[in-house]
Structure 1
C-alpha cells in the first residue's frame, strides 16, 4: 500500500505562529537543494502544509520525525490551531495566492472520516476515491483539474504509469502566486548588462536587466556579508526579499547561514538604485532523497510508516513512495507573473544619495506573505 505525494505549484502582522514554524524548515530545505542544484525555486509552504496534514493521521516514529523536521507542535490540537491561524493570514489583498489540494484513495480502502474532516476543514484538502480501472481517464481527470486550478500553468502532473500501484493514496497540491510591484520597473529602461555566473569573473554573460530608483526597505549585515532589499507588491501585504552577497563569489558562504538570512529584519526605508536581472525558471524536484537527508525516514518504508489514523483499516497501512514538486516563476518589470498593475512611479524630484543594489552576481530570494515564507530560491547563472 502506498502514498504517492505530489506537491505541485506554478512559479509565489507578525505572530508567534508565523515566527516559529516556517523559516527553519525553509532554511534547511534550501540548503539541501543548493548542494545539487543551480537556479531553483521551491515552496516550503506546500511541503510543510501537506506533511502537517498527514501528521494528524500519523503516530509513533513517523509522527515524531514530522514534528522534528517540520518544527510542528507536540499535539494534534496545537497543530490544528497553528494552521487555522496560518491560513487566516492569506487575504489575497494585492496578490493572488491560491492553493488547491486533493487526496485520491486507490482501490478499496476507506478514508478515516475524522481525519478526512480535519484535513478538509483546516487545510482545505478534499478527499475522494479514485477509479483506476481506466488509468488513462483517471490521469487525464487529475491533469485537467490541475490545469484549471493553476490557470493552465501546470499541465502534466501524473501519467497512467503513476497510477500503477496496488493500493494507496495520492495527495496532490497546487498553488499559484501572482502580484504586481508597488513600484514598477520602467520597461524602457531595461537593457543588457553583465551577470557573473556562479560568482566567477571568467563566466561573465549579458542578461536583460531592470532598473529602478526609489525608496525601499534596505539593510546591510556585516555578519552575513550581504545586502537585503525588499520589493513590496501592491497593498503591501506580500513582498519579495532579495539577498545579495557583498562578494561576487559569496553565495556559498551565505547559504551556510540560511536560518539567519530568513530571519533578518534590520531594514529601513532607504533611497536605492536597483539593477535586477529579469528571470524565469522552472524547477522540478523529486523530493524524497532531500527529505530523507533532513530526517524523514519511516514514512517512506513499507511496514514501518505509521499512518493508522488516515484509513479505516488495522493492517496494510500506506507509506509514501513519491514526493514531487514543480515550480515555475517569472520576474519582470510588472512583478511576479503579473499582467496588470499601477503606473510606474517616478523617482523623487529632489535626488537623494542613492545606495547601489546591483544584482550582477548570484543571489538568494524569497517571497513572503506577511511573515510567512511561501517561496524561496536562488539565481546562480544564466
Structure 2
C-alpha cells in the first residue's frame, strides 16, 4: 500500500536506512483512533510506541511528551482548538519532529500545516505499516544529521508535456556534471516510458524494479549490482522493462532507495513521468531543486503553467522550481524567446538550451551523446552552463 500524499519542503527528507537504536514515539489521538495501533508489530518495530488517548481539541500535557523522539498528533482542521494544540506543541518543543494525523485533508490544509514546520502528515484512520514507514524516515533523518552525513543534492526533472526532451537533457546534463569528477547517478522513474539507458546505447541487466522489490535486502552492495554504467562517467538506475502502473509504487521503499542513492553518489538526477502522482509530488517537494522543462510553443507553455500552479497548490516552494526552455531558437528571427516564455509563465527562466534536434536525433540513433559526434555545439555549451548553475 502506498503512503498518503506527504509533502515535505526539507531537502533532507530522504534519509539513511534505519539505525538499530530504539526511539520513543508518542501518538496523541482519540481513543477509537488508537485502536488500530495497539499491539501493531510494524509500529513497534519502528519505535517504542506510547499511545495517549485525548479528544482532538484537548491540549497535550507536557508530561505526555517526556522523552519523545517523534510525536504524532491528531488534527481536526475544522476545530480551532485542535489546530492550536499542534502549534503549541511546536512552540514548546521546537526540536521535536511532529507528524499531523488527519482524515480527508485537501491540499490547502496540508500546505497550511506543513508551513508550521511539521515533519510529515499521516492519514486517518491509522494504517500501522504506513505510519511505521513515516516514523522510520524521520528517525533516520535525525540519525543522519546527528552523524554529520549530508545527503547529496537531488534534482528532479520533469517535462511540461510528453516529448519535450527530458531524457535528452538529463543524459547530457549528467555527463556535464560527471565531467567535473562528481559521482553522478540518474534515476529513471519514468516507469512507463523511461529510455535513459537505451538513449545511451546500454541494455540494463537489472532495473529499478528489482531495487524497489528488495525490501529489507536493499543495501549499498545491491545498489552497486543494479546500476548501469553509462560509459560517460555516470551511473544509471534504469526504468523497468515492462510498463509499471504508476500507483503501484510503494512510497516507503522509494524513499529508502533514494536515500541510499544520495549517500552513495555526489549528485542525483531523477527523471519523472509526465503524469503526476502523489509520490512524484512528494519528490518534487523534497528535492533540492525541480527543473521543469518546456518548449517555446503554445501548448507546452500552457502545460508548464498548469504544472507551476500544481506545485504552488501543494506547497512546493517556488524558489526550488526552475524553468528550463529546451529547443530554444537563438538569433534575431526566433519565434518565441525566453523573455516571452517567462512572461507567459510568470516565472523566471533558469536556462535556455539551443535547438539542435537533428544532430541529437542522429546521435541518439547511434546510442551516443551529441558531443560525441559534434564536439562543439551551442546545445552542449548551454548544458554545461546549466551544470555550473546547479553546482554553484
* Category of TM-score, reference length = shorter chain: under 0.3
Higher strand share: 1
